[in-house]
Amino acid sequence: MKKFITYFVQGLILFIPVAITLAILFWLFNFFSGIFSFFGIVGNPIINTVLGMLITLGVITALGVLASSYVFSNFFSFMEDKLEHAPFIRHIYSPIKDFTNAFMGNKKKFNKPVLVITNPQANVEELGFLTCDDLAHLHIKDKVAVYLPYSYSLSGRLVIVPKEQIKPLDADPGEAMKFVVSGGVTDAD
More confident of the two residues 177 and 133: 133
Q: Are residues 43 and 90 in the same domain?
A: yes
End-of-domain residue from the set 103, 121, 155: 103
In a domain, residue 21? The reply is yes
Distance CA 169, CA 103 (A): 19
Q: Which domain holds residue 157?
A: 113-181
Q: Each residue of 28-48: pLDDT tens digit?
A: 777 776 766 666 555 666 776
Is 142 inside a domain boundary?
Answer: yes
In a domain, 187, yes or no: no
122 with 95, same domain: the answer is: no
> What pLDDT sits at residue 60?
74
Q: Do 14 and 98 have their domain in common? A: yes
pLDDT band at 50, cuts 50/70/90? confident
Q: What pLDDT is recorded for position 144?
A: 92
25 and 89 part of one domain: yes
Higher pLDDT, 173 or 189: 173
Contact 81, 88 (CB under 8 A): no
Tell me: do 23 and 70 sit in the same domain. yes
Q: Distance between terminal CA atoms of the chain? A: 42
Please tell me the predicted confidence (pLDDT) of residue 7: 65
pLDDT in tens, 61-99: 777 777 677 777 777 778 777 777 777 777 777 776 766
Q: 65: how many CB neighbours lie within 10 A of its CB?
A: 9
Residue 45: its pLDDT value, please? Answer: 67
- Residue 168's pLDDT band (cuts 50, 70, 90): very high
Q: Which amino acid is at 17?
A: P
Q: What is the pTM of this model?
A: 0.52
| The pLDDT value given to residue 184 | 79
pLDDT value at 173 more than 90: no
Q: Which is nearest to 50 in space by CA: 32, 63, 64? A: 32
160 pLDDT band, cuts 50/70/90, is: very high
